[in-house]
Structure 1
Amino acid sequence: MTTSDTATVRTKVPARLDRLPWARWHWMIVIGLGTVWVLDGLEVTIVGNLSGRLSEPGSGLSITQSQVTGLGAATYVLGACFGALFFGWLTDRFGRKKLFMLTLGVYLFGTAMTALSFDPWWFFLFRFVTGAGIGGEYAAINSAIDELIPARHRGRVDIIINGTFWAGAALGALLTVPILTQLPASWGWRAAFALGAVLGLVILLVRRHVPESPRWMFIHGRGEEAERLVGDVERTVEREDKVTLEPVADDQAITIHTRRTIGFGEIARTLIRKYPKRAALGLSLFIGQAFLYNAITFGYAQILQTFFGVPAGNTGYYFAVIAVGNLVGPVVLAPFFDSVGRKIMITGSYVSSGVLLLGTAWLFSTGTLSAVTMTACWCVVLFFASAGASSAYLTVSEIFPMETRALAIAFFYAIGTAVGGVSGPLLFAELVGTGKVGDTVLAFVIGAVLMIAAGLVEAFLGVKAERQSLEQLATPLSAVKEHSA
Structure 2
Amino acid sequence: METSEMTAERARSARAARTPRLALIVFIATLGGLLFGYDTGVISGALPFMTLSPSEGGLGLTPAQEGLVAASLVLGAAFGAFFGGRISDRRGRRRTISILAIVFFVGALACAFAPTMEFMVAARFLLGLAVGGASATVPVFLSELSPAARRGQLVSVNELMIVSGQLLAYTSNALIATFFPGESAWRWMLALASIPAVALWIGMIFVPESARWFMSKGRGAEARATLLRTRAADAVEPELAEMKANAERDATIGQGSFRDLRTPWIRRLVILGIAIAVLSQFTGVNSIMYFAPSVLIETGLSTQAALVATIANGVVSVIAVSFGIWMLHRGFGRRPIIIAGQAGLTTALILLGVFFLLPESTLRSYLVLGGMLMFLFFMQSCIGPIFWLLLAEIFPLRMRGFATGLAISFVWIANTVVSLLFPILIEAIAGYTFFLFALINIGTFVFYAASVPETKGRSLEKVEAEMEERFTGVVKTVA
TM-score range, shorter chain: 0.7 to 0.9
| Aligned residue in 2 for 1:456 | 446
1:262 aligns with 2:255: yes
Contact residue 33 and residue 162 of structure 2 kept, 8 A: yes
| Aligned residue in 2 for 1:293 | 285
For structure 1, the residue ranges without an aligned partner over 5 or more in a row are 1-12, 239-243
User: How many Å separate the matches in 2 of 1:484 and 1:15?
Assistant: 19
User: How many Å separate the matches in 1 of 2:240 and 2:209?
Assistant: 25
User: How many Å separate the matches in 2 of 1:213 and 1:70?
Assistant: 38
| Aligned residue in 1 for 2:80 | 83
| Aligned residue in 2 for 1:346 | 338
| Aligned residue in 1 for 2:5 | none
CA deviation string 1:437-484 (max 9, x = no partner): xx122221232233332232121111110010000010499xxx9974
Shift in alpha-carbon separation, 1:402–1:183, aligned structure 2, 3 A = same
Structure 1 window deviating more from structure 2 (442-451 vs 462-471): it is 442-451
Contact residue 296 and residue 368 of structure 2 kept, 8 A: no
* 1:123-138 correspondence runs (5 A): 123-138=120-135
User: How many Å separate the matches in 2 of 1:440 and 1:26?
Assistant: 48
Alignment match of 1:224 (pick from 216, 221, 225): 221
| Aligned residue in 2 for 1:375 | 369
| Aligned residue in 2 for 1:336 | 327
Q: CA deviation at 1:190?
A: 1.4
Q: CA deviation at 1:246?
A: 9.1
Shift in alpha-carbon separation, 1:14–1:194, aligned structure 2, 3 A = farther
| Aligned residue in 2 for 1:4 | none
1:113 aligns with 2:110: yes
User: How many Å separate the matches in 2 of 1:247 and 1:423?
Assistant: 47
Q: CA deviation at 1:105?
A: 1.2
1:156 aligns with 2:153: yes
| Aligned residue in 2 for 1:211 | 208
Contact residue 74 and residue 426 of structure 1 kept, 8 A: yes
CA RMSD of aligned residues (A): 2.9
SS in 2 for 1:248: helix
| Aligned residue in 2 for 1:322 | 313
| Aligned residue in 2 for 1:444 | 434
| Aligned residue in 1 for 2:140 | 143
Q: CA deviation at 1:97?
A: 0.7
* 1:8-407 correspondence runs (5 A): 20-57=16-53, 58-64=55-61, 66-67=63-64, 69-183=66-180, 185-234=182-231, 237=232, 248=238, 252=242, 254-255=244-245, 256-257=247-248, 262=255, 264-269=257-262, 273-291=264-282, 292-308=284-300, 310-337=301-328, 339-367=331-359, 369-387=363-381, 388-407=383-402
Runs of at least 4 residues off by over 6 Å = 13-19
Structure 1 window deviating more from structure 2 (79-88 vs 317-326): it is 317-326
| Aligned residue in 1 for 2:472 | none
Aligned length: 455
1:422 aligns with 2:416: yes
User: How many Å separate the matches in 1 of 2:61 and 2:465?
Assistant: 51
The aligned amino acid for 1:98 is R
User: How many Å separate the matches in 2 of 1:250 and 1:69?
Assistant: 50
| Aligned residue in 2 for 1:3 | none
User: How many Å separate the matches in 2 of 1:73 and 1:97?
Assistant: 29
Shift in alpha-carbon separation, 1:415–1:226, aligned structure 2, 3 A = same
Shift in alpha-carbon separation, 1:250–1:332, aligned structure 2, 3 A = closer
Shift in alpha-carbon separation, 1:265–1:285, aligned structure 2, 3 A = closer
User: How many Å separate the matches in 1 of 2:72 and 2:47?
Assistant: 15
Structure 1 window deviating more from structure 2 (376-385 vs 261-270): it is 261-270
Q: CA deviation at 1:393?
A: 1.1
Shift in alpha-carbon separation, 1:33–1:392, aligned structure 2, 3 A = same
Shift in alpha-carbon separation, 1:476–1:93, aligned structure 2, 3 A = farther
Shift in alpha-carbon separation, 1:360–1:130, aligned structure 2, 3 A = same
Shift in alpha-carbon separation, 1:55–1:252, aligned structure 2, 3 A = closer
* Length-normalised TM-score, structure 1: 0.86
The aligned amino acid for 2:217 is H
User: How many Å separate the matches in 2 of 1:48 and 1:91?
Assistant: 31
User: How many Å separate the matches in 2 of 1:476 and 1:407?
Assistant: 20
